[in-house]
Structure 1
Amino acid sequence: MRTFTLIYLLLLSSICFGQSFVPVLSVDGMTASKEVYVIKNDGTKIEGKISSATLVNDILKSVNIKSKDGVKYKFKAVDIKILAVKPTDVFQFEQSMTAGSIQELIGREFDQVVDQEYVYYEQAILPGKKNKFALMQLLNPGFDHVVKVYKDPNANETGSLSISGVKVTGGIDKSYLVCDTGSNRAVLLQKKKYKKEAQSVIFSKCPDIFNKYYGDDNFNWRDFAEHVYVYDQLCSEQD
């Protein structure tokens, strides 16, 4: 019944999801945050504030954190499982601009679908033959039970409209880095190869259910966030 209801509402709706992932937090936004925490590979949690961050080719490689008791730490990406950053009010406003399309999807409030309190960075292995670790921003917190979508630091964008520095329309990335939940090895997913590769490379867990409702004719890149959300709802309980 849950599956039927979800798909029925999706098919009736004329609203596009429009790539409604959470917006990307800049390094300035990260360092402006008053509250962060790190979970190390061994499970240790350290709370504090970011004093600086190191990027190589726009890839987050390390962060310096001053803990609440004044201790200074430097963490490399390989040492961190999760970095959680509590964003400023300005970023939360930008994030709220994406609420409409998610709420329209099946009548759920944005904060019931997406975890808005923190921006999450997770350790992942970049695509390629060498095991290069990076901290990548998770773009689908709250509907990441099957697939995790990360910002591709090298992605190009379609055109966008900004007001007072806040992006309100457009700006759809032409590529993302994607991992199966439970794995930290990312694969590159590109707009130009989406129809050909996505259903076999990414959405492969319950093809009999998922592919029934998403044929080639309506499997478009602009709806990638919708596909991820529906896949999460349909396939998260599949073995």
Structure 2
Amino acid sequence: MKRENYLALSIIFFLATTLSVQAQNFLPGFNGFSKKKTTYVHLEDGTTTEGNLKGFNYKKGLIKAIYIKDASENKVKIEPKDIVFMYLPPSKLAKLNNFGKFITDAQQWKNKDLDQNLFKEGYTFFEKSEVQIKKKTQTLMVQLVNPDFSNKIKVYQDPFAGETASIGIGPLKAGGIAKSYYVKKDGEKVAIRLKKKNYEEEFKEFFGDCPAMIEKYSDGIKWSEFAKHIYEYTNECN
């Protein structure tokens, strides 16, 4: 088999495998954003501020304030207390680093409450949430990574999370997942940090209101199936 044919078949297999499980996957979290494409910030007063990104203030890697150059070329600082949600365009380098996951973004974002056209262009979605940072609670902007199955539990990127080992060559890698996320169950106001090392012992408390899941996974709880657990809890538990 010619090298180019082998490579083409490898890519097709990779895409098919990725698409077959995408419904139960988290979207990739991005830490780098474009300053050339338009950023859209939807405010509490019902208006939208559009412009090129200038920078951020951070708290533990999460966005504490955003700076935008508006249509009048003014640099505007916007804090989470004034924001409902926003769409940010990842940088080209950030997209490249997330190649294996990013290629299916447009297919995964099917939540009708979100802007499908922006997601097809590769934008990410952030919303305001209270977040527990150690013993304090802060109002920050966090990236939602499970838009299709977030009505019971919202999962947000942890920018400081390490990743499990991945397998593959070059950009065609799979298997690496974050070792922690911020999570918020329906009815709760504050997102808390959930870590891989604590997942097995916290599983029963986290999903304890769904006896079927506790029984199903009584013989083995895997962090690598966290997205699957959230998906099943959302779609199969009352």
- Report Cα offsets for 1:140-159 as digits up to 9, x if no partner: 12221111111123322222
Q: Return the alpha-carbon distance in structure 2 between the equivalents of residues 111 and 93 of structure 1.
A: 19
- What is the aligned partner in structure 2 of residue 227 from structure 1? 229
Letter of the 1:227 counterpart: H
The number of residues matched between the two structures is: 209
CA contact (8 A) 1:40 1:82 kept: yes
Q: Report % sequence identity.
A: 29
3-state SS of the aligned residue for 1:186? strand
How far did 1:33 drift? 5.4
Give the deviation of 1:80 after TM superposition: 2.0
Q: Indicate the residue corresponding to 1:131 in structure 2.
A: 137
Report whether the alignment pairs 1:40 with 2:43.
yes
Cα 1:89–1:155 change in 2 (3 A) is: closer
Aligned pairs for 1:187-202 (under 5 A) are 187-201=192-206
Shift of 1:125: 2.1
Displacement of 1:134 in angstroms is: 1.9
Residue by residue, what CA displacement relative to the aligned partner does 1:180-224 show, whole Å, maximum 9, x if unpaired?
A: 2454411121112212212322x345x144435x32223311001
Deviation at 1:61, TM superposition (A): 1.5
Task: Give the match for residue 174 of structure 2.
Answer: 169
Q: TM-score, normalised by structure 2?
A: 0.71
Take 1:177 and 1:204, find their aligned partners in 2: how far apart are those partners?
Answer: 19
> Gapped runs of 5+ residues in structure 1?
1-14, 103-108
Structure 1 position 159 matched with structure 2 position 161: no
Q: Provide the C-alpha distance between the structure 2 equivalents of 1:26 and 1:162, rounded to a whole number of angstroms.
A: 23
Tell me, in whole angstroms, the C-alpha distance in 1 between the residues paired with 2:176 and 2:225. Answer: 14
Letter in 2 for 1:157: E
C-alpha spacing 1:162/1:47, structure 2 compared with 1 (3 Å): farther
Within 5 Å, give how 1:97-136 maps onto structure 2: 97-98=100-101, 110=108, 112=110, 116-117=119-120, 118-127=123-132, 128-136=134-142
User: More deviation in 81-90 or 35-44?
Assistant: 81-90
Distance 2:84 2:187 in 1: 12
In structure 1, C-alpha distance between the alignment counterparts of 2:172 and 2:83, rounded to whole Å: 30
Name the TM-score, length of structure 1 as normaliser.
0.70
Secondary structure of 2:149's partner? Answer: coil
Task: Summarize deviations over 1:84-103 as a string: whole Å, max 9, x none.
Answer: 11446776676672389x9x
Cα offsets for 1:7-45 (capped at 9, x unmatched): xxxxxxxx877x831112123xx2345122112234332
Equivalent position of 2:58 in the other structure: 55
Q: CA RMSD in A?
A: 3.4
Pair 133,99 (structure 1): closer, same or farther in 2 beyond 3 Å: closer
Q: Is 1:24 the counterpart of 2:29 in the alignment?
A: yes
Q: Which residue pairs with 1:7 in the alignment?
A: none
**2:30 corresponds to which letter in structure 1?**
L
AA matched with 2:173: V
* Corresponding residue number in structure 2 for 1:146: 152
